[in-house]
Structure 1
Amino acid sequence: MKKITLITFLCSLLLMACSREEWDNVTNTDKPEAVFKLYDVGYNDVLSRASTLDESRYDRLEYCIVDENGNRVQNTKSKYNPLTAEIYVEGLHEGNYRLLVLGVKGDESQDGATIHDLNNADETWLEFPADLQKPLDAEYFYSQTPFAVTVQEGEGGKQEVAAIRQDVKQQRIISRIDFDFAYNNPYVRTAVTSKDVSFNQVYFYTSLSGNGDMAGESDGTLQGLLLGENASYNFMPLTKGSVLTGEINIRTRNYRGKDVNQVYAFSQKEMEPNHIHQIETKVNHPDDKSVVMFLTTSAYAEGKHTKILQDDEPKEVYTDPSQRKFNTAQPLQLSFTDEGQLHARFYSPRNLGSALIKVRIPAVSDEYFDVAYFDTIPGFADFYETSPLVQRSSMCRTESGRQIEVPQLQASELAGAEFKVESTDPYWAKLIKIEHGWDIYWGLYGGDPEREDGGPAGNWMGIRPVHCRESVAMFLNFTYMVDMPEHEQILRENADQLYDDNKNPIQVEKVLSQMRQKRTLKVGLVYPGNGVLGLGGGSTFGAYQQAWFEHYWNTYSCSIMFHELGHVMGYGHSSSFTYGPWAEKLMNNFYVQNLSRFPIDSPNYLNSKTNPHRYK
């Protein structure tokens, strides 16, 4: 007899229910060895053809060897190696057998499943409660593999045992149901607030025998389910004559705050083992033809839109005024691109909620009509998305309430578009009060932000995006402040403290006019190594890093800002607007004390002091 060496495993191997004898360390040389390699077969339907086999990895595995009569074979030794997905068997005599394998992926206890010991293949092996009333949490795989043990004759009698090596192909005994949805308008899909399904009476098999036969019947009740966007559920197959029927309820909201509830019936006649069955709902919605881009939070996230002035933005971009420049009275920039995309760029440290975008297009109507609605426009958003106007014919709602149908447009027909914004967000109420906006862009002034020390050049160093964002906050607040009645009152109450470099009184109206006139500033970062903390004059404005980070609460930092603004307004060091009370008493204190009333009312929107890209 040819000696067969026992494989020694490096890991602890599991002894399964139908193979209860311990494997000893001495190889039995009088009995043959069998090795079975387990593979999972893919779903055998059109959605997932069984073109490949994967090694089986189970959370629980049961197996049993039965003879020609279906009786369990006794007095064998076997083990399952989960690392190699192999079953090893010794102790079989010559004859015909079947290997029965039941694999579980997941926790069968969540399904109330009972796995019985088998003495005969006709007996129930796997059983579920009749009142389970829910989909299966785990997946269940089964196979029965015939094989034969033969002994070869040689000189001197039975000299050699033929070893058995065989692949075992495991298939799911369960059926999978996929609930899919087809939408005519992608903004309807992302406006779904809930989807659920309710079922009529339905009967599933509840047991599997060792032979693979299904029997038993559920109690007919299946609880309703909340459905996600890609909802897949596992069930035992339907009993003969049973049909899976029910209703799908879809709830959506639209940009005008109205809810829409729709109900769709469905029927699924077949649910076969190891098959995927698709229940597709074709959603026909009242907003299918709406021109409005309804950007819910999920719709915006799907677009993976970028942001401006972020820490990784190249200096060649954020210091190029053709790419990065804004007016504080129009921080939300709106346009159509040459390709027909709506472009929204937001110079703001804060998010804006509930933003309705309206547009007037000469080629469409003399009226403004709703074109987009954002649940939220993130701070520093840079949004691009193709408008339905250039994709299909659309229904538009004008300001007067009329519904007009607009045929599909060419991108060139969007020329001359004029936009306006409406929002219930209190933040927007503050932004639209900025009447006298200043144009802001950024410059390096010879500095190098890629160097650790900022590449100082004279009194300047390389401004970084973290400072650019702070300048957006500061100038939004400043230009908001200049139109506040309380600010004007402070000036009038302290008119005697407003004087030029020759100590001549300056009228409040002149000061207000200088603060409110149109200006364009090239903003930079001052290098403090030379003892200079700020620079300003004409179109130049700069401050050192601490001032940018602490203007919210530090009256000293704030006075530096107003000192340089005094230079921008044309005043020198002998006036009240630099080293005098306007900068160092009136404006800096008013700014800090009234921060809570400003558009950017907290440093926490930017949290620049902890930004890793600041200068150390």
Structure 2
Amino acid sequence: MKRITIFALIGLLFMVSCTNDDIMNSGNTGPGHGSIRFRLKKSAYIGDINSRTESVNTGDYDKVFFYIADSDGDIMTTVHAKYNALTSEIYAEGLHEGDYNLLVLAIKGDETADRAEINEISCMDDEWLAFPSDLHKPLEAEYFYSCTPFTVRLVPAEGGSTEVISIDSEVTQDRIVGRLDFNFVYNNRYVRNATVEKRVRLAESKFYTSITGGGAFTGESDGIMDDIVLREDIPYLFMPTIAGTVLKGDIFHTSVSYLDEKTVLDFNFDQQEVLPNHAHTVSTAVKHPDDISPVMYITADAYRAGNHARILDDDEPVSVYTNRSQRTFNTAKPLQLSITDDGRLHMRFYSPRVLYGVTVRARIAAVDDEYFDFAYFDSIPAFCDFYESSPLVEKGTMCRTESGRIINVPALDAAAIAGAELKVLSSDPYWAKLQEIKHGWTLYWGLFGGDPSREDGGPVGNWMGIRPVHCRESVAFFLNFTYMIDMDEHEAILHENAGKLYDDNKQPVKVEEVLAKMRRGQTLQVGLVYPGNGVIGLGSPSVYGAYERGWFEHYSNRYACSVMFHELGHVMGYGHSSSFTYGPWAEELMNNFYVDNIGKMPIDSPAYLKSASNPHKYN
């Protein structure tokens, strides 16, 4: 502790304007004659390798208690003092010549959660802060303490009178508590993803329970501590361990694999002591039976942490989403899987909905002629664009084949797995619906001269600039349409109304011909129609466009839906004199069937995309 000597000169006064919080003794509204000012500052944790300490420039406390003690250690009762929370400063007045100690106890957090007692003291030997001996848990608040000696010397000045000058003096507050950080080092990053609980059980936990006004640690806990379930976002704070004791314990690490197999590991740790204002790290090297597994286990948290991109996002550049080489898909294969040349799994999902519980299996010639589990996803986000390297190119692994054989696999180079055959398994009902799309249509997107950066879409003729919000809806509509064309109910309604199907010459069209045209492999460039010219849809065997309302309301608006099917009639090769445009196929059969059966479709609700409320739509 440093000693601060304060001298006084006649006629000199330092005034401060501030808002004061009464903490201890009442006094004047600010520093004045004979006043001293101290500014509180937090110290950093010693040994804080995890950089969890907040700014140490100011106090920023929730509560501050302080006393001034004389040279005998007795608390001064004639001093007026105030604490200014805005500036983290203490003002004291009424001191005479002599040696003193400024005692400060500060709290960050809720001390009631720790059942803390703050006592009034009359001397530095009194117990100031105390915790119950049977607390049995870490502390939730941080507690800071300082004892700063200072001396007041009065210097005679002209006129024979003396006055104390206010001098800025910085007081560093150290924490009474120590912090335990629990770090885990994994040999397989996917074991981290499988972790469901980390629990600490302290075998020896004797801590001090109190501190005196003079800073002496006293009291002793009963040695019992409840199990602590570890969370990464919570610091674990304790009073210092009793001198001469060693803190020991067990860490129970529980994981559940993608196969729902539970593994509990027990690791011992031996921490020498907990010191005040120190951050101690307990590091655990997790040796796990799944360390040699090749399976990429991707949980939702792991996916977010990987910062993976999404396709057709609102901020995706127009040069990307209208580039056919970068953005195109077939509705029968909305989940695109491949292994990149550098050995990464690439997954791209053209879907407005999340897919759950997905196992990816691989067959790699360099490994075996059977498929084996390659990756597992708790969930695959809508429109995901996932890239991640496989453990197969990082280290030797042990694979389980589909027939149950266990095979050792040395580390492979990227070329060895680049030609892998991949397949997907999932019990998600949504995946079952996607699998029922047998006759896929291929889509990509175009501007047709429009400009999506302009507020009006930069219309050119009957087109305007399509935006990602419309592209996503086109994915939804065509997934539903290509699912619908193989529904038994859809085929039945065509047969029941075969007399309403005719071409531009008013000649009957057989149901089989209609189904064949709907089910043939079609490739369309999709765009957004500008309705300002009175046109709300455009279609040909290679182009498909609809106005914004059509894209947003195809789920429930029968008129908007009839527009969508009118243009599909053109895609199938029919004109305006047929039943497939201005006629019963588009305006009676298909639009009503689609709306009435939307609950059976893969994308059964506009709630997945919420396009109508998207801020990037046109106004």
Give TM-score, length-normalised by structure 2.
Answer: 0.91
1:40 to 2:48 alignment: no
Q: 1:584 to 1:238 in 2, by over 3 A?
A: same
Q: 1:100 to 1:462 in 2, by over 3 A?
A: closer
**Map 1:479-490 → 2, pairs under 5 A:** 479-490=482-493
1:276 to 2:279 alignment: yes
Range moving further from structure 2, 148-157 or 364-373: 148-157
In 1, Cα distance between the equivalents of 2:145 and 2:368? Answer: 66
**Map 1:117-516 → 2, pairs under 5 A:** 117-152=120-155, 166-516=169-519
Partner of 1:9 in structure 2?
A: 17
Residue 339 of structure 1: CA displacement? 2.6
* Equivalent position amino acid for 1:9 in 2: S
Unaligned runs of 5+ in 1: none
Partner of 2:610 in structure 1?
A: 607
Cα deviation 1:72-118 (Å, max 9, x = unaligned): 34433333333333333333333333222222222323322222233
Cα deviation 1:180-239 (Å, max 9, x = unaligned): 222222222122222222233522111212221111111222222221135421111111
1:83 to 2:94 alignment: no
Unaligned runs of 5+ in 2: 1-8
1:22 to 2:22 alignment: no
**Map 1:86-97 → 2, pairs under 5 A:** 86-97=89-100
Range moving further from structure 2, 146-155 or 490-499: 146-155
Q: 1:564 to 1:458 in 2, by over 3 A?
A: same
Q: 1:69 to 1:342 in 2, by over 3 A?
A: same
In 2, Cα distance between the equivalents of 1:592 and 1:74? Answer: 82
RMSD, aligned CA: 2.7
* Equivalent position amino acid for 2:496 in 1: E
In 2, Cα distance between the equivalents of 1:46 and 1:437? Answer: 57
In 1, Cα distance between the equivalents of 2:268 and 2:86? Answer: 46
Range moving further from structure 2, 40-49 or 407-416: 40-49
Q: 1:327 to 1:124 in 2, by over 3 A?
A: same
Partner of 1:561 in structure 2?
A: 564
Count of residue correspondences:
610
Cα deviation 1:487-520 (Å, max 9, x = unaligned): 2222233333333333333333222222211111
Partner of 2:3 in structure 1?
A: none
SS at match of 2:560: helix
* Equivalent position amino acid for 1:591 in 2: Y
Cα deviation 1:142-195 (Å, max 9, x = unaligned): 222223333446799887868765432221121111122222222221222222
Residue 439 of structure 1: CA displacement? 0.9
Range moving further from structure 2, 134-143 or 574-583: 574-583
Q: 1:249 to 1:3 in 2, by over 3 A?
A: same
SS at match of 2:251: strand
SS at match of 2:561: helix
Residue 52 of structure 1: CA displacement? 9.7
Native 8 Å contact 1:41 1:52 kept in 2: no
SS at match of 2:267: strand
Partner of 2:5 in structure 1?
A: none
**Map 1:573-588 → 2, pairs under 5 A:** 573-588=576-591
In 1, Cα distance between the equivalents of 2:133 and 2:31? Answer: 47
In 1, Cα distance between the equivalents of 2:160 and 2:480? Answer: 102
In 2, Cα distance between the equivalents of 1:381 and 1:113? Answer: 50
Cα deviation 1:250-283 (Å, max 9, x = unaligned): 2211111222222223232311111111222221
Range moving further from structure 2, 480-489 or 238-247: 238-247
Q: 1:577 to 1:82 in 2, by over 3 A?
A: closer
Q: 1:122 to 1:360 in 2, by over 3 A?
A: same
Q: 1:26 to 1:135 in 2, by over 3 A?
A: closer
Residue 422 of structure 1: CA displacement? 0.7
Q: 1:97 to 1:358 in 2, by over 3 A?
A: same
In 2, Cα distance between the equivalents of 1:453 and 1:500? Answer: 37
Native 8 Å contact 2:36 2:165 kept in 1: no
Native 8 Å contact 1:178 1:231 kept in 2: no
In 1, Cα distance between the equivalents of 2:598 and 2:307? Answer: 33
Native 8 Å contact 1:325 1:440 kept in 2: yes
In 1, Cα distance between the equivalents of 2:243 and 2:204? Answer: 14
* Misfit runs of 4+, over 6 Å: 48-52, 153-164
Cα deviation 1:348-407 (Å, max 9, x = unaligned): 111111111112223332222211111111111111222222222222232222222322
Native 8 Å contact 1:152 1:162 kept in 2: no
Range moving further from structure 2, 465-474 or 145-154: 145-154
SS at match of 2:133: coil
SS at match of 1:200: strand
Residue 128 of structure 1: CA displacement? 1.7
Native 8 Å contact 1:180 1:231 kept in 2: no
Q: 1:488 to 1:171 in 2, by over 3 A?
A: same
Q: 1:160 to 1:492 in 2, by over 3 A?
A: closer
